[in-house]
Amino acid sequence: MKIRELLDKIQQKHALIGVIGLGYVGLPVACMFADKGFQVVGVEIRADRVAAINAGQTPIEGEEPGLAELLNRVTQNGSFRATTEYAELLSADVILLDVETPVDDTDHKPRYTALKAACQSLGPVLKESALVVVESTVAPGTVDNIVRPLLEEASGKCAGRNFLLGVCPERVMPGKLLANLCSLSRVCGGGTTETSDLMIKLYRHVVEAELDATNIITAEMVKTTENAYRDVEIAFANEVAKICEANGADVWRVRELVNKSPYRNMHLPGAGVGGHCIPKDPWLLAYAAENKVPLKLIPTARSINDAMPSHVADMVAAELTAVGQELPGAQVAVLGYAYLENSDDTRNSPSEMLVAHLKEMGMIPVVHDPWVAEYQGELLEMVRGCAAAILMVKHEAYRHLDLSAMRAVLRTPIFVDGRGFYDPETVRAAGLTYRGIGRG
């Protein structure tokens, strides 16, 4: 094991860095190391993405400030190139694993197909004394129980002796990929303390924030826990919202006053929890408890948050029934389809769940979203003739809706606020009935 040699290569930026998986994590991180002076080769299974990347075109949707220019620069100057061939990693001194690690929609168990395939393909080309870092979010215990054995078997090498293994979870967010990668602290979990130290020397080239050395299991725990924490906090806010609805209170005012108490940070209740991280990572954490620790809070929080879209659908159904509107055939305008405000990202969108519930009741959803190409259009024209309008995403474009004009085109004047985005009195002054999450 030539750790000293690897350390020098990393410090001198002579180490060849391989990145497996050029998605919304792998691509930016590959570009950032290349831009700092490393030679980087990215291995990506999809040949179309490889071609786009080598042509200097980012395949990442949405607005990612700085990424297109950065990618163009590093592909033009030859410091970064993409390939489908693992053989191009034969001389890689550092390999970052950035493949997808989804959980199954039904049993919520991790699906490691991509991770296992990456390890099996990397093994045969893994160089003596290379450093392998798992950046993908995995269930605690995955690196020791799955990644290490697979790599050892496929390479005939021994972790800690012939190659080094570590975990460095990412904290990216769509729309801030590059900013988060360099400005947020990261955990460097090494199989040995030497490995953590090496990882810190490596990431110091691209991360301006704190780098915390720890071991592998801790690093796996931190990433899944920080997102499970957020999910539980949101579920708490959603449960309080329902209590407020049942007791004639306003959860938004309650939250504002609760958070004036020291050390309180009640999160925002809402029409659901979407995205690529929060709905998934609690299940990865829970997987580490399977057959070991009986869990209640973390799975329950998931079910509370996943039930919010149907809660909104029930609100709409109650209001339509109250005005004698038949549900079957009733058109309902859904304002917002992205999972997060001012984003075009629709992964695990609560609106997708809402649309399914509305259809189950026989209603006909009419979806609008200024950020999602499929749902763009003139809002009032899409709302015209609908029996209700539901605000699902607090896009800036929805902040100053012409409520009177909306009242004029709606068949029945019902406005359901899924994000506490509107003041009920303002809505009522426009002649609309107001129903909202957390407002009794």
Among 230, 384, 407, 428, interactor with ligand SAJ by CB under 6 A: 230
- Rounded (5°) CA angle 107-288-263: 105
274 contributes a contact to ligand SAJ by CB under 6 A: yes
Rounded least distance, CB 5 to ligand SAJ, Å: 33
Burial of 328 (0-12, 13-18, 19+ CB in 10 A): exposed
173 contributes a contact to ligand SAJ by CB under 6 A: yes
Bridge partner list, 18: 41, 95
224 contributes a contact to ligand SAJ by CB under 6 A: no
Residue whose structure tokens are 């947020």: 184
Among 270, 309, 336, 420, interactor with ligand SAJ by CB under 6 A: 270
Which part of the chain contacts ligand SAJ (CB under 6 A), choosing from 70-78, 244-252, 264-272, 322-330? 264-272
Q: Which tokens go with 180?
A: 């988060």
| Integer CA distances (angstroms), 28 to 31, 35, 67, 98, 134, in order | 5, 10, 7, 11, 15
Pick the closer one to ligand SAJ by CB: 363 or 392.
392
Rounded least distance, CB 231 to ligand SAJ, Å: 8
Other CB atoms within 10 A of residue 47 CB: 11
Is the distance from CB of 260 to CB of 200 less than 8 angstroms?
no
Contacts 24+ apart (CB under 8 A), 105-112: 108/283, 108/286, 108/287, 108/302, 109/283, 109/287, 110/138, 110/139, 110/142, 110/283, 110/284, 110/287, 112/138, 112/142, 112/146
Rounded least distance, CB 359 to ligand SAJ, Å: 21
Among 46, 267, 407, 411, interactor with ligand SAJ by CB under 6 A: 267
278 Cβ neighbours under 8 A, 6+ residues apart: 227, 230, 231, 234
240 contributes a contact to ligand SAJ by CB under 6 A: no
Which part of the chain contacts ligand SAJ (CB under 6 A), choosing from 3-11, 105-113, 268-276, 398-406? 268-276
Count of residues in contact with ligand SAJ, rule CB under 6 A = 17
Say how far apart CA 369 and CA 336 lie, in whole Å. Answer: 5
Site for ligand SAJ in 323-352 (CB under 6 A): 339-340
Is the distance from CB of 122 to CB of 132 less than 8 angstroms?
yes
Rg (CA), the chain: 25
Pick the closer one to ligand SAJ by CB: 42 or 169.
169
301 contributes a contact to ligand SAJ by CB under 6 A: no
Pick the closer one to ligand SAJ by CB: 123 or 270.
270
DSSP 110: B
Among 88, 194, 197, 226, interactor with ligand SAJ by CB under 6 A: 226
Rounded least distance, CB 173 to ligand SAJ, Å: 4
Which part of the chain contacts ligand SAJ (CB under 6 A), choosing from 152-160, 273-281, 291-299, 428-436? 273-281
| Integer CA distances (angstroms), 112 to 103, 109, 116, in order | 9, 9, 6
Rounded least distance, CB 323 to ligand SAJ, Å: 29
Is the distance from CB of 165 to CB of 147 less than 8 angstroms?
yes
181 contributes a contact to ligand SAJ by CB under 6 A: no
* Residues classed as catalytic: 223, 277
Pick the closer one to ligand SAJ by CB: 278 or 401.
278
Pick the closer one to ligand SAJ by CB: 152 or 170.
170
357 contributes a contact to ligand SAJ by CB under 6 A: no
Rounded least distance, CB 311 to ligand SAJ, Å: 12
Residue nearest to ligand SAJ (CB): 275
Say how far apart CA 354 and CA 6 lie, in whole Å. Answer: 52
Where on the chain is the footprint of ligand SAJ (CB under 6 A)? 171-173, 226-227, 230, 234, 267-268, 270, 273-275, 277-278, 339-340
